[in-house]
Amino acid sequence: MVRPICAIINSNALKNNLKIIKKIAYKSKVWAVLKADAYGHGIKNIYSVIKYDSDGFAILTLDEAIILRKNGCIKPILLLEGFFNREELYLIYKYFLTITIHNKWQLNNLIKFKSKYPINIYIKINTGMNRLGFPIKDVIPIINIIKKKINVYNITLMTHFADASKNSSFVKKQINNIKNIINIYHNFSYSFANSAAILWHSYSYYDWIRTGIILYGASPTGVWEDIAKKKIQPVMTLKSKIISIQKIYPGDIIGYNCQYYTNTKNRIGIIACGYADGYPRNINHNKTYVLIKGIKTLILGSISMDMIVVDLNNIPTAKIGSSVELWGENIKIDDIAKSSNTIGYELMCSVSKRVPRILK
Ligand SMILES: *Cc1c(COP(=O)(O)O)cnc(C)c1O
C-alpha cells in the first residue's frame, strides 16, 4: 500500500476560476502566475488545464519557463524578476521569453548582450512598495535608453501593489504616482493588478492582469470570507486516510511532550499527514479541523512529522482507511492558514515533494 496522502488538483475548479477572473477583467489579457511550481499545484498540471484559456504564463525561474516551452507552450511567458545572471540571456532569447527588468545591472547586461533579435520588455517601476523596480524619476530616461540601445519589440510598464485589499487606498496612490508616465506613453502596455486588485480595484486592470492565488481558489487576504461570495473554488484538496485508531481514558495523553490530556474516554484517529508533508505545526488547537465522513472534527495534541491525531468521538463510523480532508472544498485552506498564523499562499507552496499531486 502506498502512503495514502495526496493533493487532488481539481481541473474543473481551476478552469472555472479562470473563467470568473476573465469575466471580471474582461477587457484585459491574463497572465496566469505559475511560479513556485504553480503555487505547489504542479506547473505541468496547471499548464495542461489552462493552456488554451490563459493569454500567457508568468513564472520566476528559467527552469519553469523551459518546462512550459518543452510542454508545447507557444504563448507569451513572462519572467517576473528577469534574469539573475547574464548567462541566462542566451536561453531567454532562445526560448522567446518576455523579460522583466527592474534594476540597472539587468539593463546594462541586456544592452551589452546586443542581440539582433527583438525582445519584449517589462520595465518594473517602484511606485511605493519599495521592493523591486526602478525609481519613478528614472523611468523616462530608462525608456529612452532602451529604445536607443536595445532591439525591443514591445515595452510594458509594470508595477506591483503593496496592499490591494478591499478598502485599501494604496492602489490608487501607487497608480497616481506614475499617472504622468502613463499619459505620455499611450502606445505602451501596462500591467499592474494582482489577485487582490482584480477582485477589488477595477481601475487598476489596464492591459494585462496577473492572477495567482485566486486562480488556485484561495483568498489574497488570507481570509476566506473575503472571497466567499465570488464563486471561486479551491483547486487543491489535501487528502489522506486514518491509519490507526486508539481508545484513551481519563488521565491519558496524546503524542509528543504529553501535550494533550483528556479527562474523558476518547476515541482518536491517527492520520497519515504531518509537518513533513507541509501541514503547519503551529496550529491553534481549539480551532483547527479536518473533515471525516462529512463531519468536521478537531485536531488533538501536537502535529508530528508524519502524523496528526484527531477526535473521533462524534464519528463512530470512522475506521482505519476512512478518508480525511485536511483542506480543500470543505475545510478552507485560508482557515488552516489563519489558525497557524500564515496565509494560504504559504501552505500551498509548502506541500512537500513526497505528496503526490493527482490531476482530476
Ligand atoms: C506572485 C506575483 C503575482 C501574483 O500575486 P497573487 O496575489 O497571487 O495574485 C503578481 N505579480 C507579481 C509580480 C508576482 O510576483
Give pLDDT tens digits for 93-102. 999 999 999 9
299 Cα–ligand 1 center, Å: 32
19 Cα–ligand 1 center, Å: 18
33 Cα–ligand 1 center, Å: 7
35 Cα–ligand 1 center, Å: 9
User: For 319, how many CA atoms within 13 A lie in the half-sphere containing its CB?
Assistant: 1
Whether 35 is catalytic is: yes
pLDDT digits (tens, 9 = 90+) for 183-207: 999 999 999 999 999 999 999 999 9
Pairing, β 289-292 against β 295-300: antiparallel
Least confident segment among 90-104, 167-181, 228-242, 249-263: 249-263
Return the ligand 1 atom nearest residue 160 CA: 13
Domains of the chain (ranges plus CATH)?
A: 11-225 (3.20.20.10), 236-359 (2.40.37.10)
Grid coordinates of 38: 504553480
Pocket, ligand 1, Cβ cutoff 6 A: 33, 35, 80, 160, 194-195, 210-213, 220
The share of the chain scoring above pLDDT 70, in percent, equals 100
Mutate which of 80, 198, 226 for ligand 1? The one with the most ligand atoms within 8 Å of its CB, which is 80
Instruction: Determine which one of 35, 239, 241, 338 is catalytic.
Output: 35
SS3 letters for the chain?
CCCCCEEEECHHHHHHHHHHHHHHCCCCEEEEECHHHHHCCCHHHHHHHHCCCCCEEEECCHHHHHHHHHCCCCCCEEECCCCCCCCHHHHHHHCCCEEEECCHHHHHHHHHHCCCCCEEEEEEEECCCCCCCEEHHHHHHHHHHHHHHCCEEEEEEECCCCCCCCCCCHHHHHHHCCHHHHHHCCCCEEECCCHHHHHHCHHHCCCEEEECCCCCCCCCCCCHHHCHHHCCCCCEEEEEEEEEEEEECCCCEECHHHCEECCCCEEEEEECCCHHHCCCCCCCCCCCEEEECCEEEEEECCCCCCCEEEECCCCCCCCCCCEEEEECCCCCHHHHHHHCCCCHHHHHHHCCCCCCEEEC
Q: Find the length of the chain.
A: 360
Whether 256 is catalytic is: yes
Return the ligand 1 atom nearest residue 158 CA: 13
Nearest CA to ligand 1 atom 14: 80
Return the pLDDT at 1: 63
233 Cα–ligand 1 center, Å: 19
Q: Which of 181, 188, 199, 159 is nearest to 24 (CA)?
A: 199
Instruction: Determine which one of 172, 256, 296, 360 is catalytic.
Output: 256
Mutate which of 21, 194, 215, 230 for ligand 1? The one with the most ligand atoms within 8 Å of its CB, which is 194
Q: Nearest 5 degrees, angle CA 209-CA 22-CA 31? A: 35
Amino acid residing at 54 = S
58 Cα–ligand 1 center, Å: 9
Mutate which of 160, 171, 210, 232 for ligand 1? The one with the most ligand atoms within 8 Å of its CB, which is 210
Model confidence at 241: pLDDT above 70: yes
**What average pLDDT score do residues 16-28 get?**
98
208 Cα–ligand 1 center, Å: 12
Q: Which residue has the cell 499527514?
A: 273
pTM: 0.96
Mean per-residue pLDDT of the chain = 97
Q: What is the rounded distance in angstroms from the CA atom of residue 117 to the CA atom of residue 103?
A: 22
Nearest CA to ligand 1 atom 15: 80
Q: What is the rounded distance in angstroms from the CA atom of residue 158 to the CA atom of residue 10?
A: 31
Nearest CA to ligand 1 atom 4: 212
Return the ligand 1 atom nearest residue 213 CA: 8
Question: In degrees rounded to 5, what are phi and psi of residue 267?
Answer: -110, 125
The share of the chain scoring above pLDDT 90, in percent, equals 96
Grid coordinates of 35: 511560479
Grid coordinates of 105: 545591472
Kindly indicate the confidence band of residue 153, based on its pLDDT and cuts at 50, 70 and 90: very high
Return the pLDDT at 46: 98
Q: Which residues of 63-77 are buried (b: 16+ CB within 10 A; e: fewer)?
A: ebbbbbeeeebeebb
